[in-house]
């Protein structure tokens, strides 16, 4: 895969994840605001559960942004497209499916 295609894929993935993160953070804030409304006597359990789910999604999305940043750094360093573990090439098809991939499919399955 050439550097231009990789940069485009990573940029698009970053934008997608940032949009999801913004939407999740806004949803979580809206839910917290609604739960704190005066006079709300509903069962707080569903709201707390949703809050925990939102928090877990936020952590996952922030982890994804960190993975994208690492991939961008590898691209700048000239090591993009190679496993961070073995140095083996990562097939272009895998990078197109997951531009931040750090391992080959076999390595990822062995880690999983």
Phi, psi torsion values for 84, nearest 5 degrees: -75, -15
pLDDT at 47: 52
Number of domains in the chain: 1
The arithmetic mean of pLDDT across residues 5-32, rounded, is: 92
Residue pLDDT, tens place only, 29-53: 777 776 666 555 555 555 556 677 8
Place of tokens 């707390």: 48
Q: Are 100 and 68 in contact (CB under 8 A)?
A: yes
Residue 28 within a domain: yes
What's the rounded Cα separation, in Å, for the pair 66 and 92?
A: 21
What's the rounded Cα separation, in Å, for the pair 26 and 102?
A: 30
The arithmetic mean of pLDDT across residues 55-65, rounded, is: 94
Residue 64 clears pLDDT 80, i.e. is over it: yes
Task: Using alpha carbons, select from 7, 32, 6 the residue that is nearest to residue 94.
Answer: 6
> In the 8-state DSSP scheme, what is residue 106?
H
Could you tell me the residue range of the domain that residue 72 belongs to?
Answer: 3-81
Residue 43 within a domain: yes
The arithmetic mean of pLDDT across residues 40-69, rounded, is: 78
């Amino acid at each position: 895969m050439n550097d231009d295609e990789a940069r485009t894929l990573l940029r698009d993935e970053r934008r997608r994840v940032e949009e999801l993160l913004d939407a999740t953070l806004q949803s979580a804030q809206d839910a917290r605001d609604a739960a704190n409304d005066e006079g709300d006597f509903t069962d707080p359990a569903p709201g707390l559960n949703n809050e925990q789910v939102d928090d877990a999604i936020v952590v996952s999305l922030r982890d994804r942004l960190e993975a994208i940043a690492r991939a961008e750094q590898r691209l700048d360093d000239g090591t993009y497209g190679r496993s961070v573990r073995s140095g083996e090439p990562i097939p272009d098809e895998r990078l197109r499916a997951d531009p931040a991939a750090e391992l080959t499919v076999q390595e990822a399955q062995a880690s999983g």
